[in-house]
Amino acid sequence: MDKQKNVGTNILTAMKIKKVWFENQRMYGQDADGKTYWQSVLWYRRLLGASAEQLSNYTLSFDGVHWEDLDEDIGFDSFIDRNEVEPTPLQAFFLTHREINLAEFAKTMGINTTLLRNYVYGWKIPSEERTKEIASAVRNYGEKLTAVTF
């Protein structure tokens, strides 16, 4: 793992991001040589909910991008070190529906809270069966919400 990190750090030393822009829930960075890197904005709650004006108000440092208004910093290594830069459908659902409390949702499903968090943030990959179980629990939750009357 340390060896991989060192390789990423060597790449970063050579990387000189000159421009950052956003399209279709992706953040792009272009280096001095014209090479383009990207990653999903879904991983960054503050960026996902930001206005175009806020997104364009960034500063570049030696090792990353900073949005002072949003209190967000993203290191250039996050563009390089991600194995999966595009969230899976399961991850995308929970990343775009942050109003769902993962701990409480896991309890209602009867699974470990940490395990569900690991699935959502990509540290573990759920089996196909587990993915179907989570999708079923989400649909069940949705049915309960649509049945509410006041």
| Exposed / middle / buried, residue 87 (Cβ in 10 Å: 0-12, 13-18, 19+) | buried
Inter-axis angle of helices 128-146 and 113-121, nearest 10: 100
Q: What is the pLDDT along the chain (150 residues), one digit of tens a residue?
A: 333 333 344 444 456 778 899 998 889 888 888 888 888 899 898 998 899 999 999 999 888 899 999 999 988 877 765 545 789 999 999 999 989 999 999 999 999 999 999 999 988 999 999 999 999 999 999 999 999 999
Which two tokens mark 36?
A: 């383009």
Give the pLDDT of residue 17. 79
Give the pLDDT of residue 63. 83
Question: Taking the complete model, does pTM exceed 0.85, yes or no?
Answer: no
42: DSSP letter? G
Sign of CA dihedral 95, 100, 103, 108: negative
Give the pLDDT of residue 82. 52
Which two tokens mark 81?
A: 């070190």
